[in-house]
Amino acid sequence: MSFEYVKALHIIFVVTWFAGLFYIVRLFIYQTEAMERPEAERNILKPQLDLMASRLWYIITWPSAVLTLIFGTWVLSYRMGFLEQGFMHAKLAFVVLLYAYHLGCHKLFKEIQAGRTRWTSTQLRIWNEASTLLLFAIVFLIVLKNTMSMVWGLVGLVGLGVSLMIAIRLYKKYRSKS
């Protein structure tokens, strides 16, 4: 298979993996909030949200994570010289963090499916933004291929993180007023 096909498949599975990661934490928020509802509502909402989360996690997110790794490794095999460059070390470090985030989501998934929540919906909203920060870091590193740009990118990531935290706080205030 040619490099372009392998790279295209890698990008497709990265996109579907991130879609799954973004949406699963959203479902965690809904599941957590459903568990705080009166029993009659909870008995209707929780099974439906659990089913949605299970299908998303096992049919889209996990397979996409595995296929991203397979095709990403394949892409890298065409570009072995990249392994000698600093930007690739940084990018792969962020990818490792992304897989750690995925495993953290898996742990949360198992707990919430079992009806246990240890995080509030606000904490889950903050957790959801971690994948956004990792996405920005990985994309900027692979596109710019420059560790100096990475420094500026990290400054931008910190700014983005601060902006996201402010937005979450403002949203929480807005929600508590309505």
Tell me the average pLDDT of the chain: 91
Q: Which residue has 């460059």 as its token pair?
A: 85
Distance CA(98)–CA(103), nearest Å, equals 9
Which amino acid appears at position 161 of this protein? G
**Residue 173 is labelled as binding a ligand:** no
% of the chain with per-residue pLDDT over 70: 97
- Beta carbons of 99 and 65 less than 8 angstroms apart: yes
Q: Per-residue confidence at 24, pLDDT binned at 50, 70, 90?
A: very high
- Beta carbons of 109 and 24 less than 8 angstroms apart: yes
CA angle 28, 33, 36 (to 5 degrees): 135
Write down the pLDDT at residue 147.
63
pLDDT in tens, 79-103: 888 888 888 898 999 999 999 999 9
**Residue 91 is labelled as binding a ligand:** yes
pLDDT in tens, 4-23: 999 999 999 999 999 999 99
pLDDT in tens, 139-168: 888 888 876 666 677 777 788 888 888 888
Distance CA(22)–CA(131), nearest Å, equals 7
